[in-house]
Each structure stands twice: as C-alpha cells, then as structure tokens.
Structure 1
Amino acid sequence: MTGPRQRATIYDLAKAAKTSSSTVSLVMSGRWQDYRIRPETAERVLAAAGRLGYTANLKARSLRLKRSGLAGMIVPHYRNRFFAGLTEHFEIEARRRGLCPIVVSTQRDPATELSSVASLVAHEVEFLFVAGVRDPRAANRLCREASIPSINIDLPGTEAPSAISDNRAAAEEMTRELIAKLPGRSDFDFLFFGGDALDNSTIERMEGVRRAFAGAGLPVRDDAFNYCGYRPPEIAEALKAEFARRDGRMPDAIFANGITALEGLFLAVPGVGLGELSHKAIACYDWDPFAGNLPMNIIFARQDVEGLIAAGFRLLDDEENFQVGRNPTVRVKAGIRHGRSA
C-alpha cells in the first residue's frame, strides 16, 4: 500500500475496500449491477481506486456508476462465414450480458476503421472488440485514452489483449496433408495465394506452410506465394496470370488463403477447368458449408469463431489483463475438415 501508485493491483483494491477481488473486478468492469452488488460496496471500491491511482479504472464511466449498455465491435466485412460467425457470437454474448451490440464493417480501410472506432468511443461503448484489421494499435490507443477496454480478435496486438486462431499450426497441418497427397514427389508445383503479405494471419499461415515443407525435407520457392488480396475478381485475375506463366497449367498443389481466395480460383477456371481441379491437391484456410459439398476433396481449416469470441470475453472479464505491461495473446485451435465430410 505504500509502493508507487501505478503499481496498485486488484488485490490492493480488495483489501482497501474490504471486499473480494472478484467483486472489485465486477465493479471496475462496470458490471456490478448485473450481479446485485450493493451501491455502497461499488462506491467503496471506486473510492479506493481513486485513492490508490489504480490504472485500470474505467474513468468517469465507472466513477459515475453509470453504463451506456452498448457493446462495440468492428469487422472488415460480412462476406464470409468467419466474420459473419464472429459477429453472430459477439452479439449473442453481448445480449446475454444485458448489452446492446453495435457492429460496424470497415471494408479493410484504415481511415474507416479509425473513424468507426472514434464514433463508437463517442457513444461510450462499454468495450470494443477489434477484428480483422491489419494493425490494431491505433484503435486500441483510442480506446485506452477514453478508458474503454478493447480486445483484439483474429490478430495479435501489443496495446490490448488478443484472441487469435492458431494460424501457424493449422496451416502446417494442412500443408502436411497436401504433401501427403503427392507421395514420393519432390518436384511438384505449389501455389499459396490470397491475402496480404503484411497481414499477421497471412504471415503466420505462410510460416506454417514453410515449416511443413521443411519438415518433409522439401524446398519451397519464394515465388510460390502470391499475396493477391481478398476480393475474388482480383484474385481470379492474379491466378489467370499465374496459370499463363505456367503455359496454361495449374499447380499440382494449391493453398487458398481464405474462402474468398477459393472463390477467386473458381472464377479463374470456369466450366471445364473445374474438372481439372478435382485432380489437384487443394487446401483452403477457411470453411463454408457450400464449399464443403464441392465434388473434390478440399482440406479446410474451420476456425472456431465461438471459441474466439468466448476467449475474448474471458480476457475482457479479467481486469488484470488491462494493467500496464500485460496484453496477453490467447491462441484458439482451428479444426481441419475434408471436402464433403466438412
């Protein structure tokens, strides 16, 4: 109690307020009313937070013992099952907590991301989940300046706690299965396509691919990776150029970095080209029920959207995660599915 003010912990507050650490956590997260904690207890905790300079207190919002009742989230779009699923489970959990969810799509535009975060902060959301942006630091800082907790979903960040898919491990497992489909061959043509070279998910999946090749004692060329974005028409044009470079041939093994990348592949090989694809080794880091019923045995990664959102809320509920220097990252395993059996 006599140390530096910024070092006060949730346990210091519990001792000073003569209550439990779990009660302190609920008061400091603004959820004390949901659990029928008495107003005088909440006032005592907040008074202790003020005296001790507790760094994780929620500023005026909590000090007034008022809540906006809003839960915020930004996503890049709703075009695939992954982001749509994240949104759905976020809304379910927010409503379960008695909050009204507000979800904004930003179309992967950094300016739109920041303006959307600023608007949600201005509406005093209780917290913000940040999903699918390239770099979440600016969004996290805007939230921190307003004393609003933020959680990164689907990407790690150094400015807030994060819940992400274990992209590296799943991509490595998928690539091992691709290699197993071409036994005894060390000269097969491989192509990884889609995504952004600066995007963390893409970087981790690429690392997983390289680890699988290295584990099999096989080389993989640098030009086997084509980071051609997320929009199917643009991906299709990039793939047509790839096939032209191969004199019209398709690679022996194909890794689509997302369901929109797989859509781009189908746009690039309409009609009779689909028949040729049925003889190729194909993996897709994503999943959709329709894609799972295609007449070819594709290896899919089905990300655990419910697990990601649940991990995000667990991070949010642990007030110590917002102490200076914490910001942990939780990895959630992705399942591997196969074609019609997905």
Structure 2
Amino acid sequence: MARTGTTRKSTIYDISRATGTSVAAVSMVLNGTWARYRIKEETANRILESAQQLGYNVNMAARGLRLSRSGLAGMILPHYRNRFFAGLAETFEDQARRRGLCPIVVSTQRDPAVETSVTETLLSQRVEVLFITGVRDPSPLNALCAAAGVPCVNVDLPGADAPSVVSDNHGGARALTDVLIDKMQARGDLAEELVFLGGIENEYATDKRIDGFREAFAARNLAPAIDAVECCGYNASDTRRALARRVEKLGRLPAGLLMNSITAFEGLVQFASALPREAWQSSVFGCFDWDPFAAHLPFDVTMMRQDVEAIISEAFALADGHDPAAHPLVIVPTCFGRMLDEQDQAI
C-alpha cells in the first residue's frame, strides 16, 4: 500500500481499545478529572502509559498534576564542603532513586532568605517529600510544606513543627571526650586543659555536644577550665584566629583539642601546619566529624562519625509514615570513625 507521507495520529479510541477501558475514562484521565469521577490511580497510570506507547501527545508536567505525583524528592542543605553534608546528599540521592524518585539537592549556604526561596521553588515543582537539612530554624520552612500538603523531615538540626532525624550529638561528644581525657591522662597532662572549639552557641547540635563534653568531666568528678568551651563558628578562618589567641596566651597548643566540626578541624590543620613537628606531638586531637584524609596527618586524631545511611533511611521512613499531627525526634547513634574505609583504600 502506498504511503501518503503522513502518519495517522493515535486517538483516545486507540487508547481505549489498548487498555480495555471506556472512551469516557480515557478522556477523564487525559483531561485531569479522573479522580473526581473515582477512577482508580492504577487505571489512570495504565491509560497514560498506553498513551505514551501509542505516541499520543501526553504532557508529562500535566501527568504529574493529574496523578498528584511529580516523581521528585527534594533536599536543601547548607553546603557540600564537608564529608557529612556531602554524604547526606549522596545517600539521599541513592535512596530516592531506589524509590523511583528523581532527587533534587540544593545548597543554601545557611542563608534563611535562600532557604525560604529554594523551599518555595521546590514546592512549586510539586516535590513529593522535602528533607530540610542543617537549618537552624526550620519552622518557617515546615509551615510552607504543611500549607502545600508536602511531607517534610528536618535532618541534622531538629524542629518542633515536623519530624526530625539527628545524630546522637550528646552521647557522641561524651564518648569522644572520654577518649581524649584518657589519652591526656596517660601522657601525664591535666584533663582540665582539654578545649572544645567550634560550632554556634544556642544551636541544637553544638549545645548537645557541649553537654556531652561537660558530662564526661562531671562523671570523673572533674571540671573543664572556665574558658574551655569556645563557640567560634564553623569557618576555618575563625578557628585559626581562636587558636592563635590561645597559643599566644599559653605559648603552645592546648594539651587537648576537641574540634566541633570538620571545618573547624581544617582550621586547626591550617594553623598548626606552620608550627614545628614537635608542637603537633604535644597535644591530643579529636573531631566530631569524620574524613579519611586524617589518616595522612602527622599526628593521632580520634574522629566521631555520624551514620549518614541510617539518618537518611530513618528520614524516608518518617516521610513514608507521614502524620501531620506527629513530630517525632529520631536520634541516630554515632561511632568512632576508622581512618580508612576499604573503599578509600581501594582508590
């Protein structure tokens, strides 16, 4: 048979025959009114898939609206500059894809205006779930999600207006402090010289870690020095300046340093790299964060590792069981990080 150069377009009658559904049902699905007439979502999906297979022009954005599904999962986080946040983002992407979702991750640089703007944009794209990570005050963002009917979970820093998943900051800091005090006392140093450096005052994670730090001292009937805790932020340059002040006062590095984040630890490395090698050997170091690069440093450091796999798994579990009236707080245990994982050794 001769062809005329044109191909007949599929019609709703072709879709009806292919799916064994009525023309009316096909029409309702394609125009987005299927839910109003109590057509099952399974049937609607089957009709839309058939329409695509037959070359019927189905608008994919419209499909998401019709089925109240976009296939998108969103996460906002402060930045990618340390392994913890980068690990959360990578694990979130992996677990979202396993669930058939397309992950969208956006860094907000701890700017509340950017956090709000990004949240509004992601909600306008009809994300099916939003993980709000490392935000000091997530309540305004939780309210935006609630108004949009989108489940959200606060990760790393909790909030009262949505479910939250956090590390065991208190228990982890106490365990890390215990290890450092033991090391200091074995060297003949006074435990009271141990310094807690970094983080933000009145921030949940920092406050919990300070509580754990002080509790470790109290359990030994000891007390840290009056100026033992200094919340100088998360910026490496701020840590360098804080250390410079202490070294100027003491004439050397403190006998023990517990750094409250990997970025604070980076400030320590930058500052002390200009010191003689023996200066490194005069102190013990700990970090509430983990990165395998520490295995290559010329001194011993104990690192506390946060379980990003468990944190993201718990967050998805909370999203799956979303209850607008329930705002549980899940605390995930920490562990001491090995200096090199098998995967890192293979690289």
What TM-score do you get using the length of structure 1 for normalisation? 0.78
* Number of the residue aligned with 1:204: 208
Residue 273 of structure 1: how far off its partner (Å): 4.0
Matched, 1:323 2:327: no
Q: Secondary structure in 1 aligned to 2:227?
A: helix
* Number of the residue aligned with 2:230: 226
Residue 167 of structure 1: how far off its partner (Å): 0.7
* Number of the residue aligned with 2:195: 191
Q: C-alpha distance in 2, partners of 1:198/1:67?
A: 39
Change in 2 beyond 3 A, CA 1:341/1:316: closer
Task: Identify which range, 331-340 or 258-267, moves more after superposition.
Answer: 331-340
What are the within-5 Å matches in structure 2 for residues 252-263 of structure 1?
252-263=255-266
CA contact (8 A) 2:290 2:304 kept: yes
**How many pairs were matched up?**
285
What fraction of aligned residue pairs are identical, expressed as a percent? 46
Q: Secondary structure in 2 aligned to 1:290?
A: helix
Residue 114 of structure 1: how far off its partner (Å): 1.2
Counterpart code for 2:334: A
What are the within-5 Å matches in structure 2 for residues 1-342 of structure 1?
39=41, 64-183=66-185, 186=190, 188-246=192-250, 248-319=251-322, 322-324=323-325, 326-337=326-337
Show CA shifts across 1:220-252 (max 9, x none): 134211111111122111211122122x22111
CA contact (8 A) 1:134 1:198 kept: no
RMSD of aligned Cα (Å): 2.5
Q: Which runs of 5+ in 1 are unaligned?
A: 1-36, 43-60
Change in 2 beyond 3 A, CA 1:110/1:149: same
Q: Secondary structure in 2 aligned to 1:331?
A: strand
* Number of the residue aligned with 2:55: none
Change in 2 beyond 3 A, CA 1:115/1:91: same
Q: C-alpha distance in 2, partners of 1:274/1:265?
A: 14
Show CA shifts across 1:289-327 (max 9, x none): 1113323221101111111000100111113xx232x20
Higher-Rg member (1/2): 2
Q: C-alpha distance in 1, partners of 2:143/2:333?
A: 28
Q: Secondary structure in 2 aligned to 1:223?
A: coil
Show CA shifts across 1:120-159 (max 9, x none): 1111111100111111111111111111110011112111
Q: C-alpha distance in 1, partners of 2:41/2:339?
A: 56
Q: C-alpha distance in 1, partners of 2:125/2:319?
A: 19
Show CA shifts across 1:30-80 (max 9, x none): xxxxxxx953799xxxxxxxxxxxxxxxxxx99953211111100000001
Q: Which runs of 5+ in 2 are unaligned?
A: 1-38, 45-62, 343-347
Q: Secondary structure in 1 aligned to 2:337?
A: strand
Change in 2 beyond 3 A, CA 1:68/1:339: closer
Change in 2 beyond 3 A, CA 1:177/1:341: farther
Counterpart code for 1:242: R
Residue 341 of structure 1: how far off its partner (Å): 8.7
Pick 1 or 2: higher relative contact order, CA cutoff 8 A, min separation 6: 1
CA contact (8 A) 1:293 1:340 kept: no
Counterpart code for 2:86: A
CA contact (8 A) 1:166 1:332 kept: yes
